[in-house]
Chains A and B, each alone.
Chain A
Amino acid sequence: MLKPTIVLTIAASLLLVVGIACGGAEEAAPAAPAAAQPTAAPASQQAAAPAATEAPAAPAPSGAQATAVPAIIATATPSPTNTPSAAQASQSVGGRLKIAVTPPVQELVRGWLGTTTSANAQVRPFAEPLVHTDRFDGSLQPGLATEWEISKPDGTQWVFRLREGVPFHGDWGEFTAHDVPHSAAMITQEEAIATDTGLFRGLFGQTQEELLENIRVVDDYTVEFNLLRPEAAMDFVVSAQQGNYFMYSKDQWDTEGFEGYIAGAAGNGPWQFESRQLGVGGNIVYSRVEDHWRQTPHWAELEQINTPEPATRLANLLTGQVQIAEVNRDLHPEAKDGGMIIVESELPSIQVAFVMGGIYSPLSPYHDPTDPHLDVRVREAINRAIDREEINKELFSGYGSPHPVWGFHPSLPGWNSRWAEEFDDKYGFDPDRARELIKESGHEGYPLKLIITQLSGVPEMITMAEAAFTYLQDVGIDVEAEEMEWARFRADFYVPGNTHGTIAPIRGTLRPAEVTLRFYNVSGPEGFQRIVPDPQLDELYAEAISAVNPDVKSTALRNAGDIKFDLYAEVPIVWLPSQIGVNPNEVGEFIWPGNINTAITHMEYITTAQ
Chain B
Amino acid sequence: MQRYILIRIVQSILALLVLTVIVFSLARIAGDPLDVLLPLEATVEDAERVRAAWGLDKPLYIQYFKFLGNALTGDFGESIKHRDQQAIGLVLDRLPATAQLAGLALLVATLIAVPVGVLSAVKKDTFFDYAGKVLALTGQSLPAFWLGLVLMWIFAVHLELVPTSGKSGIRSFILPAIAIGWFQVAALMRLVRSSMLDVLDTEYVKLARIKGVSERKVVWKHCLRNAAIAPFTYFALIMGSLMVGSVSIEFVFAWPGVGLLAVDSTIARDFPVIQAVVIVFCLVYITANLLVDIAYAYVDPRIRFS
Contacts and interface: CB of A to CB of B under 8 A. Distances in A.
Given A30-B84, A321-B165, A525-B44, A315 B53 contact: no
A491 B31 contact: yes
Given A5-B232, A9-B295, A106-B81, A190 B254 contact: no
Given A106-B81, A280-B256, A6 B225 contact: yes
Given A34-B53, A190-B52, A491-B32, A280 B251 contact: yes
Interface in B85-105: 85-86, 88-90, 92-97, 99-100, 102-103
B116 to A, nearest CB: 19
Interface residues of B, number: 82
Nearest to B74: A26
A488 B299 CA distance: 52
Contacts of A262: 84
Interface in B216-260: 225-226, 228-229, 232, 235-236, 239, 250-257, 260
Interface string B64-85: 0000000000000010011111
Contacts of B86: 28-29, 31
A311 B149 CA distance: 8
A606 interface: no
Contacts of A110: 83
A9 B39 CA distance: 51
A27 B85 CA distance: 10
B99 A12 contact: no
A1 B300 CA distance: 9
B93 A24 contact: yes
Contacts of A319: 156-157, 160, 163-164
A12 B256 CA distance: 25
B88 A28 contact: yes
B261 interface: yes
Main SS of chain B's interface residues?
A: helix
B33 to A, nearest CB: 9
Contact of B39 (A21, A193, A258): A193
B92 A24 contact: yes
Contact of B235 (A2, A9, A15, A315): A9
Nearest to B51: A191
B89 A26 contact: yes
Contacts of A8: 295, 298-299
Given A28-B85, A307-B165, A312 B31 contact: no
Contacts of B46: 193, 197-198
Interface in A23-63: 23-24, 26-31, 34-35
Contact of A281 (B35, B40, B257): B257
B225 A2 contact: yes
A435 B236 CA distance: 63
A243 to B, nearest CB: 9
18 contacts: A8-B298, A16-B291, A17-B103, A21-B95, A23-B95, A24-B96, A27-B93, A31-B85, A106-B37, A114-B37, A191-B50, A195-B39, A195-B41, A195-B42, A198-B42, A277-B256, A309-B149, A309-B254
Interface of A: 1-6, 8-9, 12-13, 15-17, 20-24, 26-31, 34-35, 103, 105-108, 110, 113-116, 190-195, 197-198, 258, 262, 277-282, 305-309, 311-312, 315-316, 318-319, 321, 455, 485-488, 490-491, 519, 524-525, 527, 529
Given A190-B52, A281-B166, A315-B156, 5 more contacts: A6-B228, A12-B291, A20-B284, A315-B153, A316-B165
